[in-house]
Amino acid sequence: MSTDPSKKYLDFHDALRPMAAMDVNWPTGTSTGWHSHPRGQLLFAIEGMMMINVAGGAWVIPPNRALWVQAGEAHDVKMSGNVQMRTVFIDTSKVDALPAKTRVLNVSPLLRELIVAATSIPLNYAVGSRDERVMQLLIDELHGADVLPLFLPMPADPRIGEICNALINYPADTSTAAQWAGKLAVSSKTIHRVFFKQTGMSFAQWREQARLFIAIRRLAAGDKIIDVALDCGYASPSAFTAMFKRHFGVPPSEYS
């Protein structure tokens, strides 16, 4: 197992086979820096949580979830907790039906074990071998993985950005779009229009997504559900749990 965060990716990018997997461990608080890969990347951690920034927003990846990063997309990965990262690089010109866009995927127990097993497979695995069949089964599981709404889009407009940053810093803020409009000396219609144009969400939808996004980070860090619920603006843990299950299909305890 690698413990060197500076491990080079070049051999994995240039592998003769369409798939190559690597393991690397990162201490908490570190960052990969902005970079991209010529192959698609399945980014998974068997321990720790990752925050992935892209040009238009951020993803939060708790345990048992993975991020599929489309080839060529610049991203920066920040570690929350000591992260044991497992990455599979896939040549999308040789493997069909992979996601066209970056997205979060649920990792089944089988997919998890396949990702871990893939890191032990040599780069030049033999055609028709068990190693190749493991890689193909990994692709089959990847095709069936559920997509999860763990993306928080960030607007380019500085006025809307001011609102978003304030809500990220204080998610319990209950100010309405009209109240924000008054603070920024614009109309509430402008707030709603620009929010939807730049994030694809209404003001209320974005605030809800931001609260859930922050909640997942705190749950994964070990904070109590009641503290997370109240700090994120929910009237009670039960109201938080109901909203969480409506978005993610599971209770917040699944992320803690």
Helix axes 188-199, 203-220, angle to 10 degrees: 60
CA angle, 79 as apex, 211 and 26 as ends, to 5°?
A: 165
Whether 251 has a pLDDT exceeding 60, the answer reads: yes
All structural domains of the chain, each given as residue ranges with its CATH number in brackets, are: 10-148 (2.60.120.10), 154-255 (1.10.10.60)
pLDDT digits (tens, 9 = 90+) for 98-151: 988 999 999 999 999 999 999 999 999 999 999 999 999 999 999 999 888 788
User: C-alpha distances in angstroms, 206 versus 14, 59, 61, 119, 183?
Assistant: 40, 14, 18, 37, 19
Strand ranges (E), the chain: 19-26, 40-54, 57-61, 65-69, 76-90, 103-106, 147-148, 151-153
pLDDT digits (tens, 9 = 90+) for 148-163: 878 899 999 999 999 9
Tokens of 247: 């978005």
User: 256: pLDDT confidence band, cut at 50, 70 and 90?
Assistant: low
Whether 8 has a pLDDT exceeding 70, the answer reads: no
